[in-house]
Amino acid sequence: MGEAREVMDRFTAAAFETKDFTAAAECYADGAVVVTPDQGELTGREAIVAYLRDLADPFPDVRLEYEAKHESGNVAIDEWYTTGTHSAPLPMPTGETIPATGKQIRVRGCDIVTVEGGRITSHRIYFDQMEFLGQLGLLPDA
């Protein structure tokens, strides 16, 4: 296992298994950039950790089910399903908050990180926002 894989595994354990956001923040380099499907580009540990906390906190039982883990040089890629129960308010990009629905989610996604000097410098997160909102029952009926 290379450095990129080790850092990615340490990050996902901290962010999703133990919700140790201090440890998750330590996985990022100063000035790291995360590109998200819902918030766009975020720069710096503080903004990144706030985003991760806003995604994880509404789902106290959040877990990742891995489909595949890859590594090539300084890049690690995880393909996953995230699962959990929407049990607390969910902050939205607009500043609104969606009350807990009590619904279960299982949404497919992917993380791609670039690691330099033992820390994540670039992180791209992909997941289907429509699938996510649909599973929460937040889309209008067709």
Q: For the chain, which residues make up each domain, given as ranges?
A: 3-135
Provide the CATH topology of domain 3-135. Answer: Nuclear Transport Factor 2; Chain: A, (3.10.450)
- How far is residue 130's CA from residue 134's CA, in Å, rounded to a whole number? 6
Whether 2 and 71 have beta carbons less than 8 Å apart is answered as yes
pLDDT single digits (tens) 95-128: 899 999 999 999 999 999 999 999 999 999 999 9
* Residue 120 β-bridge partners: 28, 115
Report CA dihedral (72, 74, 75, 78) to the nearest 10 degrees. 90
The verdict on pTM exceeding 0.85 is yes
Query: Which pLDDT score, from 0 to 100, does residue 92 have?
Result: 85
Instruction: Give how far Cα 100 sits from Cα of 15, 52, 59, 97, Å.
Output: 21, 18, 9, 9
